[in-house]
Amino acid sequence: MGKLIGILMILCGCAGLLYQWMKVQRCRALLMEEWIRIFAAFEYALEKEHVPIQRFFLRYDGRLPEVERFFERVLQLLEKNEYPSGQMVWGMVFKEWEKKFALKEEAGHTLRAAGDAFFGENSQENLRCMQGCRQRMEKCVEKEREEFVRQRSVYMPVGMLTGLMLVILLV
């Protein structure tokens, strides 16, 4: 009976680790998809409605609370009016949140560059930068999906086989 419980604990542990890995990958993909929606919404708001950036940040109702808190922090620093540019504020807040977002390098660079798109010199430049950021983030999402499928096809069998090997070694 004790061996059976040990076997189940090992297999459940391996399955739990795999589940956690999949959850982290999914959260990263959801975050990148949310940023794509933000970029598209800002393109529309800029092109059709001519909405100022502060009002856009206040009005944007996202699906992820992390993004809303990120925008709130940017707005707090902008309202203090202590920094020479919005790009500088964006960069500072992004640096604070970079680990919380846990994006891969290319997606992180894209998001860092989004500060230029939100706080550029004029609307046309903002729109052009925003479209570029959205396209790069879409490529990042596609790469992330391909990598996830490739890694999942390796990690799932290897993880469960590792659990089975541990069971065999302990029996």
pLDDT tens-digit readout, 79-121? 888 888 888 999 999 999 988 888 888 998 998 988 888 888 8
Residues 6+ apart with CB under 8 A from 160: 11, 14, 15, 18
* pLDDT tens by residue, 27-80: 888 989 999 999 999 888 888 888 888 888 888 887 888 888 999 999 999 888
CA dist list (Å): 10 to 22, 25, 156, 167? 19, 23, 15, 7
Give CA separation, 107 vs 33, 44, 132, 144, in Å: 11, 22, 12, 10
139 Cβ neighbours under 8 A, 6+ residues apart:
106
Which two structure tokens, joined as six digits, stand for 130? 């925003």
Give mean pLDDT, residues 144-166.
Answer: 81
Q: Please determine, for residue 137, whether its predicted confidence score (pLDDT) is greater than 90.
A: yes
Q: Is the pTM for the entire model greater than 0.85?
A: no
Residue 44 half-sphere exposure toward CB, CA atoms < 13 A: 7
Which residues lie below 8 Å from residue 138, measured CB to CB, with a gap of 6+?
Answer: 36
| Matching residue, tokens 């009005």 | 59
Q: How far apart are CA 142 and CA 126, in angstroms?
A: 24
Contact 84, 56 (CB under 8 A): no
User: Whose structure tokens read 């990263």?
Assistant: 28
**Two structure tokens written together for 128:** 């052009």
CA 12/CA 89 separation, integer angstroms: 45
